[in-house]
Structure 1
Amino acid sequence: MHVHSLLHLHMSLSHDDPVQSAQTAPPRPAWTALDWWPPVGWWPDAARDLLPGTVSSPASATFVLPPHTESVHSARSFALGTLTGWRLDELSENMELVVSELATNAIRHGLRLARSHVGEPVRLSLIRRGTLVTCALNDPGAGSPTLRDPSPMEVGGLGLHIVESLSARWGWAPLAPYGKIVWAVLRP
């Protein structure tokens, strides 16, 4: 693993379901790019309906990607190792492709569009809820990810189509005061 990488594991010691609590709790201010990622109990709002009624305690792992394209390989290795540790190897093949696409986009586009926040990291977080795993990348860039319809002669432009086809759901959200998070939920 690269020297500049960071592995941070969170395990909830509470028997309460933080996602359920978050659904009934009063609204809180938006998460910002300056908050530690991921906040305990986070789950994409647009994918909450995928959660079963009772879910085991969440687990998460975070990897900070160095700002160069070679770090995509390290991100894939990190994701596969994390899934092995969680005994969710059946997600490995799809997760490897999703991480590749999202990490490549974050480094290629997110860092390039982070004009005033040069040096901010790209973070890959995996969040497990039962057998569901969210792959989330946040970067300091201002651009929004959009599905493209590349011509047959173009090289590239299909990454988000791959993510969409391999995930139960995917999406993105801006972070305040800058940056964004792009996420995909995978299930066996």
Structure 2
Amino acid sequence: MGLSPALATDPDVVNCALAPRLESVRTAREFTKLTLNRWGLGDLFDDIALVTSELVTNALRHALAAASVPEQRTSAWGKRGAGSPGPITQKFGDAPQAPAPLIRLSLVRRAPQVVCAVSDPSSSGPVTREPDWVAESGRGLHLVDSFSQSWGWHPVAAGKVVWALFELDEAAALQEGALQDIGETQTERRYQGE
């Protein structure tokens, strides 16, 4: 049984849900590398991965800290945390526990551009600060601005999305166009019975 048209996915739009953990930055980089390689755009990895890392890190640092996450109840061992041996349980009559907010990384390829977008549950927009070149943090948005052609953010129903746009170089755009043409030709042949 084939996929219905409503369930078919666009191979040029990919998403990755990220948990609110520091390991998510590495997961985002790995997802970006796999996606760009699959698209034949591996030469863009360094710039896009740097920006992806910064956007996910900002979401982890600022957006999730600002988002209110209800305290979870656990068994008799107390509040769950590192080293808590007990599973999360819920007493009869308690309201259902809300899941931890997620960060979502989206990569979109539309020749001659690739967009990296990170959504999070906070409605507060990113703020570019005056860089302190001695501090360990605070330069992330400057890096995003330097390595992408443009960037911005938009509020959404459940938070915001911060995006960065990358232009494909001419060779990559031509290669992608040729790959799309090959794919369309193969699809046309398949439906024409060749």
Deviation of the 1:118 alpha carbon: 6.4
Counterpart position of 1:40: none
Counterpart position of 1:3: none
1:169 matches 2:150 = yes
1:149 matches 2:130 = yes
Paired residue for 2:24, among 71, 93, 102?
71
Distance 1:167 1:86 in 2: 19
Matched-pair contact (CA < 8 Å) for 1:88–1:131:
no
User: More helix per residue: 1 or 2?
Assistant: 2
Counterpart position of 1:16: none
Counterpart position of 1:42: none
- For residue 18 of structure 2, what is the amino acid of its counterpart? L
Matches within 5 A, 1:1-188: 10-11=9-10, 59-115=12-68, 119-176=100-157, 178-188=158-168
The RMSD of aligned alpha carbons is 1.8
Deviation of the 1:151 alpha carbon: 2.7
Deviation of the 1:108 alpha carbon: 1.1
* Equivalent residues, number: 133
Structure possessing the higher radius of gyration over alpha carbons? 2
Distance 1:173 1:132 in 2: 19
Identity %: 43
Matched-pair contact (CA < 8 Å) for 2:132–2:139:
no
TM-score (norm 1): 0.66
Unpaired segments of 5 or more residues in structure 1? 1-8, 12-57
Distance 2:126 2:139 in 1: 12
Unpaired segments of 5 or more residues in structure 2? 1-7, 70-97, 169-194
Matched-pair contact (CA < 8 Å) for 2:12–2:110:
yes
Distance 1:118 1:165 in 2: 35
